[in-house]
Structures are given as C-alpha cells and as structure tokens.
Structure 1
C-alpha cells in the first residue's frame, strides 16, 4: 500500500503533480458551488434582508477570521499527527453540508451561523491541503502546482457565473435587486458539485507522511522558523488589514447602477482574468524570485482599489473589477509557493497555518473597518485605505527579498 501511494505521488497528469491536479478539480467544483451562493450573499443580505453594510462587514469579518484562525490549528495538527487527508476530507464535508442551509435563510443572524459553519470547514481543510500539495511536489515545480490550483478556482467560478447568468436572464432579466426566490434557485444549483468534490478527495487524493521524525515534535509557534518567514508573515498581515471583503466591491458595483445579471457577467470576466494569469504566474515564479510577482500583484491591487474609490461611472467599475482578477492571479498561488520555499517540509502544515492565521487575524478588522468607513465616512473610504496599506506592504516585501536567511 505504501509503495502504491508513493507511485501515485510521483505520477503527473499533463505535467501537474497528482495531488495538485486532483485538488485543482476539487477547487473547480467547490468554487462553482461557492460562486453561485457566496458571491450573491451580500446582495441577498442587502436587497432581501435589508442588512446594513456594517452588519455585512461583521458577517464577512467573522467568516474570514473563523476560517483562517482555524487554519493555524489544523495545519499544526496535520504536522503533529503526520496525517493530512482525513482533515481535508472533514473540512470539505462540513462545507458541503452547511451550504444547502442557505436556502432557508430568513435573517442575518441565520446567515452568520451558516457562514461560520462553512468557514469552519474551510479552516480545517486549507492548511493540510496546501501542505499535502507542497509535500508531493518537487521544489522547482511548486509555483506550477499552486498556480494550477489557483487557476482552477476561478475556472469553476466562471462556469458558475455563466450558469447563474442564464438563470437570472430567464427569471429576472432586468432586476436591479436580488430576490429571495432567485437566491434560493442559485443555492439549489450549487449543492451537487460540492459532494462530487468530496468524492474526488476520498477516492483519489493521496496522503503524504513526513519521513523526518522531527515531524512529531512540531510546536505551534514561530520559534524555529527563519526570520525571512517571520517578516513575510508581518508583511502579509499589514497588507491584509487593508484587504476588506470583496462584498464591498460588489455593493459598490450595484451602487453605480449595475443589474444583478450585469454583476454576474462582470464577475465571470473577473474570474477569467484570474484563471488566465494564475498558472503562467506560478510557472514564472519558479524561474524568478516569487516576491517580485507578489509585489507586482499588490501594486495592481493598490491601483485598482484607488480606482474603485474614485470611480463615478458604471463602465469604470466594470473595467476595474475585471482587471482586479490580475491581482489574484499574480499573488495567491505564488504566496503559497513562497511559504514552501521558506520552511522545511516537516513544518509546512504549521507554516501554512501561521500564514493563513496571519491573514485571518487581520481579516476581521479589515472587513469591519471597511464597513464602518463606508457607512460613516463615504463608500470610497475603505478602498483608499486599502490602497495605501498595499503600497506600504509592497515596500516592506521588497526589503525582505534581499535579506539574508538565518540558515
């Protein structure tokens, strides 16, 4: 059995390592489901449940922080137990069971509970999954593996948004606001793919055990990690403080007059840009310093956010949101590949947990602050705030590029 697993870990499909390929399609199916529901959720909260933007910020902040803080413990646990696949399975399973409950949502507290459960699932699975991909991929192919995984995420979103656009077109073509009936249809369509994704994990994903006996002596702390990794976490934290939930971008688009159908089509184009840029960016990051691509992505983010803060025309919002996909394509897969570069294999679960935890700790205040800036100053304030912090974080990361390692 062990030899069979080792053979599978070495196997590639279309040049992609086995686990990276399997989890790429898991991401495709899971994001198909999420895009139909989670992307429409801020519109549902605002249009149907009449929730205030500060409440939407609270929900998104709690959801994001719950997921990413749990990633700390699940990553550490996967290193401690030297097992990852069953944690990943539980995480995806919990999300699969919680999403259908959105069909019955009738107040924002109920939505908060569902989002909490869904994000608990994400928190349990993400760090062990990332470590599983990293530990079954050669160092010189880490960017390619994570780039492929990141590209499949928005690919699923594109299909979901096209399907959602057809549903909207035939049910409420010219609607300026989302209705409860339309939202419930989207939830029903989203259910089946997540259970297919769960089956793929159980049937085809391969677990990876560290051969280094020190894997059982891992501590949940920064002690023993290289200072470049520690400074990388600090930089990520500063950037995240200005990286509020994309729910506010969707609300800004609706404020500028876009219909629900137009918003879905805009999101499809946004995800297309992410898909087209993520895989090439991952491959490029295997050839140059990954930090440079991350900084490039953060500068794109700053310019886009500044544009959102200043835009007054509908076409400007649409163009900016579509180009916003370039930020995701340039950064998300590359950021995870960089984590694998900076830490040894036996600590990667914990390292991904700390990385995601750094994001999570600041995700809550980021969305909460954005909600209050929007409501009590003006809708442009959270975007200008995010742009300023992105530039500052970019300068910090450039300094980390040339810093010597402890080792």
Structure 2
C-alpha cells in the first residue's frame, strides 16, 4: 500500500461514500417509479437522457479542467451536485422534478470524472497507475456493495418506504463532500497546463481534441469503444438471472455479490497489471467477459449463473481501472482529464446504444443470441488489440 498516497486515499473515500448513496437507490429507483405510475418507456427515456448528459459532461468538463489547470474545484462541485440530487427524488409525483434530479446527478458525474482521474494519474507513475486506479475502483465499488445491502435491510423492515430512503441517501453524500475539503490543488498542475488556457472551451473544441490526439490514444480508444458499443447494461444480466428462476431478493443478492467480487479483486489485479503490463491484463479481462456472455447465453442453471456473476466481477476489476490507467499512459499529462473525459463520455453514449441493440436482439431472437453475439464481438476486440501496436508516453 506504499504507493497509495493521502490524496488517492481521500479520493477513494469520497467515491466510497458517494457510491453508497447512489447504490442505495439504484436497485429500487425503477421499482419506485413504476409503483407511482411511471411507464417502462418513461424510465427508459429518462435513463437514456441522463446517460447522454453524463457522457458529454465527462468530456467537456474534463477539457475545461485541463484548460484551467484546476482539478479540485471540479471534483468538489461534481460530488456536491450528485449529493443534492438524491433528496429531490422524493418529489416523485412530478415528472419534471424526477428528470431534473437525475440530470443533476449525471451532470455531477460529468463534472468530476475527468478531473478526479487526472488527480489519480498525477499521484502515480506509469509503473504504478494500475494499482492506484485499481485501489480507487475497489473503494468505489465497495460502496456498490454497502449501498444496496443497506437498502435491502431497510426495505425488509420498512417495505415500500422509498421516500425516507431518498433522504437517507443524502447523508453519505454529505460525508463525501466533506472529504473533498481535504484535497489540495497542486500548483505544479496549473503551471503544467498553463499552455492549455489558450484553448477554446466551445462545444466543438471537444470534438477537435480527437483530431489532435496522438495515434496511440486513437488506436486504444477505438478498440475500447467498439467493445463499449456492444457492452450493454447489467440490467440484461439481471433479466437473464430472472429467467433462470431467481427471485427478487436473490437477484439483488447476486448483484451485491458481483460488486463484492469487483471490489475485492480491483486492487490486487491492479498490482498484478503493473507487473505484467496493462495490455495483457485488459485482454485477460476481455477474455473473461467473452466467457461470461457465452455462459449466460447457453445455460440457465442458478449455480452456473452465480459462477458467471463471480467471473463478471473479476472481468470488471481487470478492465475498468486498467483502461483509464492505460489511457493516461498514452496521453501527455496536461491532457489527461480531456483524454479520459472524452473516452468516458463516448463510453457512456456507446453504452446507451449498446442497450438499445441488446434489447432489439433480445426481442427478435431471444436472450441466447443476444449474449452469444456480444461474446463474439469481445473476441474480435481481443484480436484487434493483439494486432495493433500502442506505445506509451515516456515519463519526464
């Protein structure tokens, strides 16, 4: 743990408490909205709009962070917006307020993501980035274990008392904001990015970054986005679990189990990735992903479904933080927030379309075809990365 600095520790605690707040509500929000009369179509449109908003925000505010040379204000504001959005959901009878709350939450995610990941990158070397990102991801995902677990226990004793849960979710959000005041801006970052202050912050300038980005960044992101375009929402895995005969409590339990595996494996796999190389770890993760989707497409045995979710947690630990660490290694340090933000933004938008494609395949051909086709695409992405050569930036 000697490579985990105080700043990385503080950011990890901020993410932990924020994710506790978010994940307390994630499993029950669709149930709540449906219970008060919202249609599945409205819920789908709502989530689609919020993903697009978060997607563009990650790129735009990531670039703005690079342009201004500031990180901490974006982190603090982003987490604050997400915390404020939680209690607004209690006014669920007003569609506009629900939409506003979800958009505010996603704007918060967009504001903080690029700047936060740039801070994590600056706290590591090229040889330690995977473990730093892995540790942060582990703490973040631990929140996805604690949040739903708390919600599950609370609703067991107070069934359908969703409103008070929205207010309770505000508390860990406030704690997260408090931790952001322990973050200090590095003066070196402002000097390092001073040349970027001349860049335009207009909408089009974010698109222009792709034109000026290094070939290595483009080759890496193209492969990641092809995968993202087919990597649909975890909701489809949950629906497949329901088809296998699991009840509601078992489905929530298996979702918690997946996040627990994700949290436990993120840091050790990050350490291992620093030793064997980020590319090898990412390819291992994609290989596991393909195996999971083939398994989910071919079987409905509850025991094998549990195995699939275990492996899915390992896949997530082997790819999420690793991909960001790799992007930061092929990008100049004064462009880190823009590079990761643009990728994260396009990833969010791709995920939205991935879910549309998966839903279309499921509707026309059934679940097995949906999962098998996605697994095949993952294999092709592996072959792509085996063929292309991506050179990392040399540390100064």
Is TM (by shorter chain) over 0.5? Answer: yes
Larger mean Cα displacement after TM superposition, 295-304 or 131-140: 131-140
Say which of 54, 74, 86 aligns to 1:87.
74
2:3 counterpart of 1:23: no
Greater mean alpha carbon deviation, residues 345-354 or residues 212-221: 212-221
Q: Report the CA distance between 1:169 and its aligned residue.
A: 3.4
Question: Aligned in 2, Cα 1:393/1:334: closer, same or farther, shift over 3 Å?
Answer: same
Normalization by structure 1: what TM-score? 0.86
CA contact (8 A) 1:257 1:314 kept: yes
Is the contact made by 2:62 and 2:338 (CA closer than 8 Å) also made in structure 1? yes
**Contact 2:3/2:128, CA 8 A, preserved across alignment:** no
CA RMSD of aligned residues (A): 2.6
Instruction: Identify which range, 289-298 or 244-253, moves more after superposition.
Output: 244-253
| Residues in 1 aligned to 2:264 and 2:50: alpha-carbon distance in whole angstroms | 28
Q: 1: CA distance between counterparts of 2:109 and 2:390? A: 33
* Alpha-carbon distance, 1:16 to partner: 0.8
Q: Which runs of 5+ in 1 are unaligned?
A: 1-12, 173-180
Asked whether the 8 Å contact 1:236–1:358 carries over to 2, the reply is no
- Residues 208-223 of structure 1: matches in 2 within 5 Å? 208=186, 209-212=189-192, 213-218=194-199, 220=206, 221-223=209-211
Name the CA distance, whole Å, in 2 between partners of 1:38 and 1:118: 12
- Written as runs of structure 1 = structure 2, the 5 A alignment for 1:7-406 is 15-45=3-33, 49=37, 51-52=39-40, 56-106=43-93, 111-171=98-158, 181-201=160-180, 203-208=181-186, 209-212=189-192, 213-218=194-199, 220=206, 221-400=209-388, 402-403=389-390
Deviation at 1:361, TM superposition (A): 3.2
How many residues are paired up?
Answer: 384
| TM-score (norm: length of structure 2) | 0.88
CA shift at 1:259, angstroms?
3.0
Q: Distance in 2 between matches of 1:104 and 1:385?
A: 41
Q: Distance in 2 between matches of 1:293 and 1:59?
A: 35
Q: CA deviation at 1:319?
A: 3.1
Distance in 2 (alpha carbons) for counterparts of 1:48 and 1:247 = 21
Indicate conservation of the 8 Å contact 1:226/1:405, yes or no: no
Q: CA deviation at 1:275?
A: 1.3
